[in-house]
Chain A
Amino acid sequence: MTREMTGAKMVVEALKEQGVDTIFGYPGGAVLPIYDEVFQQNDIRHILVRHEQGAVHAAEGYARSTGKPGVVLVTSGPGATNAVTGLTDALLDSIPLVVLTGQVPTFMIGSDAFQEADTVGITRPCTKHNWLVKDTDQLAATLHEGFHVATSGRPGPVLIDIPKDVQFATGTYEPAKPTASHYQPAVKGDMEEITELVAALEVAERPVFYTGGGVINSGPAASQLLRELVEATGIPITSTLMGLGAYPASGKNWLGMLGMHGLYEANLAMHDCDLMINIGARFDDRITGRLDAFSPNSIKAHIDIDPSSINKVIKADIPIVGDVAHVLEDILKVWKARGRKVNREAIAKWQEQVSEWRKVNCLAFAADEKTIKPQYALQRLEELTKKHDRYITTEVGQHQMWAAQYLNFEDPNRWMTSGGLGTMGYGFPASIGVQMAHPDALVINVAGEASWLMNMQEMGTAVQYRLPVKQFILNNERLGMVRQWQELLHGERYSHSWSEALPDFVKLAEAFGAKGIICKDPKDLDDAIIEMIEYEGPVIFDCLVEKHENCFPMIPSGKAHNEMLMGEADTQGVIQSTGAVLV
């Protein structure tokens, strides 16, 4: 069934056909025809953000919390360039997005027209793929292909640039065809490699699962299969920042997050293991630390849907290219068929060793009666919100690491954070996207005051759409992580790492028509958090915390997993000049 219609109408039709219910956007001259079509229908809700970067992060929050692609509609020129940070963020964290940008009419392209930018040129390195559509007859097929590419294989952001004359012109609408694209990444892993992995798993004495965002991206089935495999084998499991929630934090084999600010037991298990099973993670530098001392005695299996992830950083002894859910299903099948064997005796000893490491209690901190320690704030937040239908987003910095350490995630898609790019300003708009997808859930953005200010204009969006997002700001009046590095690496010269002239956050909330809460006394914290939860609308929670707290454990740059700093006492002269040049 093909139909004649304008390009602008095709956009709306294609979005409907793809099952899109929400788009985030900001209008402008080059997308007015599409906005006119958006106006004349009721199937797709449009959320008007206050800045295009906010639209992309909101779409990321929507996508991560639902598993569906996020959709963005912005105008040409500045609309598109403002989206670049969000696109890069989504690329590094493998978040499926379809971003539609308006463009000046085809006959004006290249003339430096008003609000013209080479959008496909600018976004080529920060999208998985992008298209400039010059012919209305190609528009519908390109839109469908965009959704296919964004969601197939390793997910990622795509951008479709649509000149204004293409939106006005009439063409033929082609419905989506499942076989139309040559882009069909393999999802099944090689059975020989899978069998080799199972054979290794059967005899390993100190195995560990190292899981990442790929498990979440693979869908809920992947998390289920992972849990089945972990429970059946009793193998300890750790996860990257991106993978939190795939295995429940309450699970008995859970080691906690690993990496630069990961838990002691997780990093030592990685260092001492004899079989490392990487499932959907990519050996990021925040994970590996010093490469030549990374888990020196282990056989490394690496499951990843992207062949370019394999052997990029760490040599894989058992490389498996495939989708996590498909591969885990096959691993379980083979493992069961071969008699469900593991080296029970050795693993029991290994678990004992893990228990010894746990006793170190690496997340212990010195509580204070007068000042709120940020760790304490998060412990209380966890305690008072864990029974809720809860989603957490974060900004970037110390608060993000503390949130990953002190909040517990029982399910996938409940934790939205900017991992690869480390984008300050991500969390607030992301919380808006999450709340749009889950209107009745408790959505909290754990923030630092500096990050939060980067996209604070989105308060307007939250209030306009009555989105009860809770902005839980750990306010230390510092760029905490920068300050921490300056203390450890730059002779305590705190160059431009404090937040001066901060707004009064309560008044700021009220100015936007939201609620503001300030809390500085540990004794008042519980009541204040409960007040925040119970308020039926957006809240800015200004939690004044200890200003000079550092985030531990910490693997300093240039060090190995077994060279963690556990607290202030360990920090004297630890980072040498070779480490200081790393980020």
Chain B
Amino acid sequence: MSALHIKKGSTKHSAYNLRPNFSDVQEQHTLAVVVENEPGVLARVIGLFSGRGYNIESLTVAEVDHTGHLSRITVVTTGTPQVIEQIKAQLGRIVSVHEVHDLTVEGPSVERELAIFKVVGDGEKRVEALRLADIFRANVVDSTLNSFIFEITGAPDKIDAFADLMRPLGLAEVARTGVAALLRGA
């Protein structure tokens, strides 16, 4: 061993962002995957996650470049650093995938999600729901005499917080889009 001057686990020159030491700590990463907009591409990405046993916390997909036929999939996943590296490498070798970005590593990034909440109630609860919605800058997009639908955008934890507050006030239904994310700066 002494004859070799390489530290075990050294990957300092790697182009693949290999960590010197893999730990067992679960990390949450937001990945942006730019894919060819063709039939079945989402199935390829989802199939990779289910087939290899990776987690999907949230997933959004939409076409972002019509002329270039490109879609952007934003996927929030959790795993050990080794698993996260595997996910990126596995995504990268799907033929229809053009780019894979780990926004958590390449960051800082802006993450936003849109959610709509249906809150049913009357009297004091209804007033309180409206007041809290104002604090969270949620918009009322539908109203009846005993219900509201609020629209809110923000980072996922802000939406979680809003959901927690609405729950005792008559939260009936939620629809969330999942995370869309971009790196900050130019």
The verdict on A317 contacting B9 (CB below 8 Å), with A132-B39, A203-B4, A310-B18 known, is yes
Which A residues lie within 8 Å of B13 (CB)? 190, 192-193, 196
The verdict on A129 contacting B51 (CB below 8 Å), with A196-B6, A307-B89, A311-B86 known, is no
7 residue pairs A–B, Cβ–Cβ below 8 Å: A124-B43, A190-B13, A190-B15, A193-B13, A307-B93, A312-B89, A316-B18
Which B residues lie within 8 Å of A312 (CB)? 86, 89
Interface status of B101 (Cβ within 8 A of chain A): no
Which B residues lie within 8 Å of A153 (CB)? 93
Chain A residues close to B by CB (< 8 Å): 120-121, 124-125, 128-129, 132, 149, 153-154, 182-183, 190, 192-193, 196, 199-200, 203-205, 274-275, 297, 299, 306-308, 310-312, 315-319, 321, 343, 346
Which B residues lie within 8 Å of A125 (CB)? 47, 51
Given contacts A125-B47, A297-B1, 19 further A-B contacts (CB under 8 A): A121-B40, A125-B51, A129-B95, A183-B95, A196-B6, A196-B13, A274-B3, A299-B8, A307-B89, A307-B92, A310-B89, A311-B18, A311-B86, A312-B89, A316-B11, A317-B6, A317-B7, A318-B10, A321-B16
Q: Are A274 and B1 in contact (CB under 8 A)?
A: yes
Q: Are A149 and B4 in contact (CB under 8 A)?
A: no
Interface status of B58 (Cβ within 8 A of chain A): no
- Chain A nearest CB, measured from B170 CB (Å): 42
Interface size on B, residues (CB 8 A): 34
Which A residues lie within 8 Å of B90 (CB)? 308
Interface status of B78 (Cβ within 8 A of chain A): no
The verdict on A311 contacting B82 (CB below 8 Å), with A125-B51, A128-B95, A321-B16 known, is yes
Question: Complex formed: what's the CA distance from A317 to B89 in Å?
Answer: 17
Question: Complex formed: what's the CA distance from A274 to B93 in Å?
Answer: 32
Q: Are B89 and A308 in contact (CB under 8 A)?
A: yes
Closest 6 pairs (CB-CB, A-B) = A308-B89, A129-B95, A192-B13, A203-B3, A307-B89, A308-B90
Interface status of B14 (Cβ within 8 A of chain A): yes
Q: Are A204 and B3 in contact (CB under 8 A)?
A: yes
Question: Complex formed: what's the CA distance from A274 to B51 in Å?
Answer: 36
Q: Are A299 and B40 in contact (CB under 8 A)?
A: no
Among B3, B36, B44, B85, which residue has its beta carbon within 8 angstroms of that of A346? B3
Which B residues lie within 8 Å of A318 (CB)? 6, 10
What residue in chain B is nearest A120 (Cβ atoms)? B40
Q: Are B14 and A315 in contact (CB under 8 A)?
A: no
- Chain B nearest CB, measured from A278 CB (Å): 14
Among B4, B9, B86, B94, which residue has its beta carbon within 8 angstroms of that of A275? B4
Q: Are B16 and A307 in contact (CB under 8 A)?
A: yes
Q: Are B3 and A299 in contact (CB under 8 A)?
A: no
Question: Complex formed: what's the CA distance from A243 to B43 in Å?
Answer: 33
Q: Are A311 and B5 in contact (CB under 8 A)?
A: no
